[in-house]
Chain A
């Protein structure tokens, strides 16, 4: 597609990347077909192609972001379904990430919105604060229906309170940096991204991951200093905090590499995985030493199901006789193009795996999306749950805490893939999962 940037505009490295992405788009429109918001809203402006065009026009004219552009870019889930569909290889993620940062820089949101985004961007990456906030939310949740009105703010507040789980687990005694030795001879040494929100909401996921990996001969290190991957801030366009968090992780893992080497950085929340795998790109304009470190970490980053496929997984329990609807998290299937590994592992573990229709569509979770865009998120959730129900499963498995939270609370238990794999390899039965048939 034709672009209109001046030489001086292109001198800016971010604009140069945007130009490259835009040039690779041929405006064929295939991406519209698999975009969740286009499916629901039926407006070119809420499709990837429309957003690309809005962003292109905004960048070409050097215009500060306007309300119209912000509306439609905000509605993007960053599910990256469009990237799976695109035959021309348009890197939509880099374009929309840039646009979000550009918006944050040039657009002044209404006060209430700034507050919400600021608060979310500050609380969620900090587990202790987040845990306190959840407990508080729990206390006031019954008041949610008292929040009056249909304003976006009111709906967002109600959505946030609705998402707060009924029981917030207390801090895991094992939370924090630690080394978990391999049982038996050490076959590999990996760093686990302990993450932020996940270890508060569902500490059992990290526990299952560590149990399973150590049992399979991995030494697992939760590195000192590593924490939130930065994606939450990144996706809200909060560039500086995102880069700070990312760099903290890069440094923490680099120290582990220097200490005893690392075979992989393993991630069990696929939303984070997509971002860690992009660290190399995020630090592309940094001095070579930093850039190289970031690239090295990105190269080591693997999803837990990739790692298990690589090192080999075998169940030890008899077949559970359960049907699992596998929900493919967008960050796994589109962001990281991982589609077969989780299903193959679940089958190997002895589950019957079914795949709901419209598997390419996002469930509406998308980081903070279900709090910031509650209407669209709810419609997507309903649609997803309906498709899952049609497959008549006993439970749902997903590889991302966001999806698990979003889809929970309906008729079916929703658990992390790794928890099921751990169970079948000798770990405890995940909570809510029916007994072996």
Chain B
């Protein structure tokens, strides 16, 4: 179970004053929420197993309003939890009883699109797909594509350094950013980077990306936009075992082909997603690969032929190359809706996000199956096979407390296994509150302490997104900035 620190009693006592202060910072009367009934839906994010009512919610409409909120909160010692679309699967936007949730959903404007220099500047509350939609008429796209891209916001993507199914070729969020506008904990507005490549001094852009709201609030983002390929097509290959599918992945990478996406699903995942997307997934297979290539039709044909030949060496049970854009879309609909589709076969699930060296996949899947049997909880596995990012979806019943507790323990065991085989706790969902207490499995205490000191350099009083990322300790024991 996740423990949260006791709220600061003095802040709770000043609740009305805090709300008044926020009202002074935010112009719109509906932009500050303080009544308990309206606060309730803000008590959780995409990880609804963890819930905590916030002190208040503020919904600023500009960077200046964010800065005003931060100046007020900083001056009054009030903690702040930044929130985008609230789709975090690690509880990254879980409120605290004494903290103000600053929701950036109203900042959803595309500020500038610069095709000549291939970049776009947008506010933090623009959705991931919203960027692509804004530039797709000109044939461009924004590359990182987390499964929640329809809803998740770019500000959240930056804070979590989100990945997606296509990052084997195009990289994750960090690789696709040029600049940020941030608001520091004391309300300063700073520009980081710009429309050019690479920093001359320290790589603040790189450090802020994936910092999970620990260092600053991100309000504007300049992203690289890329020209879409001439075309893309996916193929599906079904295999009789996880081992065979894993071996096929190895052969593909060894062949020198880097498919734009290489996704792996095990049997339960195949069944759940097919029921939702009707994409023609092979229901008799134990494991399935989605392999996508890009280029002209001739190039696609050539690459798909090479890939088919490789798959055929591994005795696939089925091999199906999509013949149309619609078929490819259906294939991706199943994959991208995978998490929700699990909602059709189980009332609740926990989605893990470990990373393993790809060579360990069969071994890791076997051990996960053993754990599944011993916990008596079903699990479906989805895997970004190209980069080793494993998403076991543990199915449980949230109305049964034992079931949830078992799921939590099961999840922690999987993540420890990922670290044990040479991987890490999280590939793209972030540590959040969910994996906070597992950090000592990946980092020595002095290493965590070093990260805490960096946090203190940005946020000396530890007001930003409290109780996430770093295992809890008494405030007095937190490092102060030098």
Contacts and interface: CB of A to CB of B under 8 A. Distances in A.
Query: Within 8 Å by CB, do A and B touch in the complex?
Result: yes
B260 interface: no
Given A28-B148, A54-B37, A87 B341 contact: yes
Given A23-B399, A42-B59, 20 more contacts: A1-B48, A1-B347, A2-B49, A23-B347, A24-B343, A24-B344, A26-B342, A27-B44, A28-B151, A29-B46, A29-B148, A30-B340, A33-B129, A34-B150, A54-B37, A54-B38, A68-B35, A86-B340, A88-B340, A88-B341
Interface string B439-468: 000000000000000000000000000000
Interface in B393-437: 398-399, 404
Interface stretch (A43-51, A98-106, A304-312, A408-416): A43-51
B85 interface: yes
B453 to A, nearest CB: 34
B148 A26 contact: no
Given A33-B151, A34-B150, A43-B105, A28 B46 contact: yes
A25 interface: yes
Contact of A1 (B103, B106, B338, B398): B398
A226 interface: no
Interface of B: 30, 33, 35, 37-38, 40-42, 44-46, 48-49, 59, 85-87, 103, 105-108, 125, 127, 129, 133, 148, 150-152, 276, 337-344, 347-349, 398-399, 404
Q: Which 4 A-B pairs have the closest CB atoms?
A: A87-B340, A88-B343, A42-B106, A2-B398
B59 A43 contact: yes
A68 B37 CA distance: 7
A66 B37 CA distance: 9
A69 B35 CA distance: 11
Contacts of A183: none
B108 A42 contact: yes
16 contacts: A24-B347, A28-B343, A30-B151, A30-B340, A43-B103, A45-B33, A54-B40, A54-B41, A66-B37, A68-B35, A68-B38, A69-B37, A72-B38, A85-B150, A88-B341, A88-B343
A23 B32 CA distance: 30
Contacts of B49: 2
Contacts of B44: 27
Contacts, number: 119
Nearest to B37: A68
B366 to A, nearest CB: 27
Interface string A35-67: 000110111110001100110010000000010
Contacts of B344: 24, 87-89
A39 B342 CA distance: 27
Contacts of A23: 347, 399
Nearest to B400: A2
Interface residues of A: mostly helix, strand, loop or mixed?
Answer: helix
Nearest to A89: B344
Interface of A: 1-3, 23-34, 38-39, 41-45, 49-50, 53-54, 57, 66, 68-69, 72, 85-89, 357
Contacts of B341: 87-88
A72 B42 CA distance: 14
A89 B347 CA distance: 11
A152 to B, nearest CB: 14
B41 A53 contact: yes
Nearest to A34: B150
Contacts of B347: 1, 23-24
Nearest to A85: B150
Contact of A44 (B30, B105, B348): B105
Nearest to A31: B151
A26 B340 CA distance: 7
B348 A2 contact: yes
A34 B148 CA distance: 12
B324 to A, nearest CB: 15
B235 to A, nearest CB: 23
B307 to A, nearest CB: 28
Nearest to A43: B59
A26 B48 CA distance: 8
A50 B42 CA distance: 8
A58 to B, nearest CB: 8
Q: Which of A23, A28, A43, A85 has the most CB of B within 10 A?
A: A28
Contacts of A27: 44-46, 48
A29 B40 contact: no
B458 to A, nearest CB: 27
Contacts of B343: 24-26, 28, 87-89
